[in-house]
Structure 1
């Protein structure tokens, strides 16, 4: 009987809407802004790990269902009314995140990808004119300074963006039409904001005071962006500029039985597996202290006295303590 209920329970979970399969919407061409009468195709992409089975597709615009059940949604001769947030869903699966399409009625726009831009990503901007006109020689500007003139191509490309790529961009182009000698048209200006793939690393050393002969752990602490949580990172450690451990996926470097020669300035480097993004921490100075836990340097020990009622008068208990613990020592006679 228990097996019967277990089968029913598992079946309900498999068929329950909002399962693990979550598609992703992409655009072809991959521009989030287009000019009226341009054509664009939206694709409902299913993760490769999803089981192969017959699927039906449902499209949404601004959370309202659209007609059709195909994997692609084609918008021919776009209009202002096609502006909106698009999502898709497959049978018995989750709904995708929205992707925004913006359609404008203008002569010239600077096109950019619709998705967020992270460090190390390639970036292409396109100076795109209304197809009813002819355009010549695009000029690209960042923060009102010209960065590139391109002819006959109308695209500006960056192989790997970094935080310095962030800025306000626009373009100009000479626009002509039959019977019109032409004039220079300016695109709207928009911001490119490059997100950190992972934060700048910081060094952490434990324990706070490393005694000679004790163990030491050096950690290279960084925080990946949660939306790019699948990014594989590698870590390397250095002492006084010399490599003490090459790149690996472990963010810690451990020293057993630390010695004086382990003292020095420690730094770490974090990189993506492909090496497209690399960041180095500030230095952290480590000084291995002389003495051991069993026989500490007397200058590093703090003494105090505790009154204990069950000890004979005139006797006190001497204790030594540090930041982490209190160690009871021997009872000594005093004349206080």
Structure 2
């Protein structure tokens, strides 16, 4: 038994030794474990964003009843904590079980069940390995139990790598979805080379899509008529004398090809690989600018005649007087219209 166990561990170690997690390898490992320990089925489930455990791989013999998906809430919360803490849990229908254990046996229509949980750093379950026996069998020996623990520990770590990778992929796609739907345009470039490192969809769409940005410098996409850094680029305002990020800088910018206005925010920060990067985000304020222009116009022009009003006169006088300081001369011209007050009093409503 000891030699057979050593051979099993070595064969699985060789099978699971690759640098990339492979579904074909997972299937082969399931088959090896099921054959070695007389399981009728080996099942691997992964948790999705909706807290459902979905069947990803299987190795079954006979007419095994399969749960393609089930809510993790189908497992009692207290028992989930137990599963998360243990290397593996074996449940046998012939033993005296609690309600949570009986519920798991029923969930998998099993006479005996071995469950291995895949957890994150907070011991939250993100995956389950379930090995099912449909018919009653003699209880495994202590040596067999120890061998199974060793094998499943190896296999669980291998599966855990993929589940963690999938978790990161989901987190990345969720973050990108948030950035694409904030109503704010965002792009990131290398602080010194100006190579574009990231762009969200709303920023990229007016310029032909995300694929137009990568591998290029920011001005090559945004201002193709230029052959160098933009004169208004605020990068030097974003770092201190030691080249470290300081504060956010903002300004308003009008896009030349359609006249849209944007409130732009720039900041320096460290990119994922440690390099200094420049993030530029902007919100469309075209409607705000038009409203500001309308308010400014209504404040300075008469709505009936569209001529400058008294407020505009005062402002212009102040401006001209300021310009005339230092000995320069200026002129002020008054004129009046005879009888206009009577017209204004009687005809203006």
Higher helix share: 2
User: Under TM normalisation by the shorter chain, which class is it?
Assistant: under 0.3
What is the TM-score of this pair, normalised by structure 1?
Answer: 0.20
What is the TM-score of this pair, normalised by structure 2?
Answer: 0.20
The structure number with the bigger radius of gyration is 2
